[in-house]
């Protein structure tokens, strides 16, 4: 089973969590951008899930994701690789949490293969989730 989702918008990384003190909730340092982005990703994933399939996927899965980031004015013409912030691992973390929160997978620990790319382009993200074949050792 495969789930492919395209989400428009500027991808937001999942930043560090900071505590507001004893008895108060912890929040992401970039919650103002992260939470709307993650909500959009969750909505797009759920929309694709409604087209069929059995959710959440069980067992090992692989995830491929491409992040399209806006080209800054400082980027050279023809440059396609944004070798600067946001960090790709933090972008991926936000997507993996969205996969879990949407109900596509039970836990992001199920992800056994993860491939991420970030390029300049029209802002957005394309994510593919696939169930891995379960192979038994001899």
The structural domains of the chain, with segments of one domain joined by +, span 2-131
Q: Which of 12-16, 39-43, 50-54, 100-104 has the lowest mean pLDDT?
A: 12-16
In angstroms, the CA 97 to CA 13 distance is 11
CATH H-level, domain 2-131: superfamily: Holliday junction resolvase RusA (3.30.1330.70)
Q: What is the pLDDT of residues 71-113, one digit of tens each?
A: 988 888 888 899 888 999 999 999 999 999 999 999 999 999 9
| 133 pLDDT tier (thresholds 50, 70, 90) | confident
């Amino acid at each position: 089973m495969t789930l492919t989702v395209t989400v428009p918008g500027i991808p937001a990384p999942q930043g560090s969590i900071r505590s507001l003190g004893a008895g108060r909730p912890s929040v992401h340092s970039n919650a103002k951008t992260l939470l709307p982005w993650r909500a959009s990703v969750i909505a797009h994933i759920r929309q694709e899930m409604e087209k069929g399939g059995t959710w959440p996927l069980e067992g090992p899965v692989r995830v491929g994701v491409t992040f399209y980031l806006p080209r800054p004015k400082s980027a050279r013409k023809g440059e396609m690789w944004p070798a600067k912030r946001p960090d790709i691992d933090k972008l991926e973390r936000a997507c993996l949490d969205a996969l879990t929160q949407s109900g596509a997978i039970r836990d992001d620990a199920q992800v056994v293969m993860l491939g991420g790319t970030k390029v300049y382009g029209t802002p957005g993200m394309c994510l593919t989730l696939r169930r891995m074949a379960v192979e038994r050792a001899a």
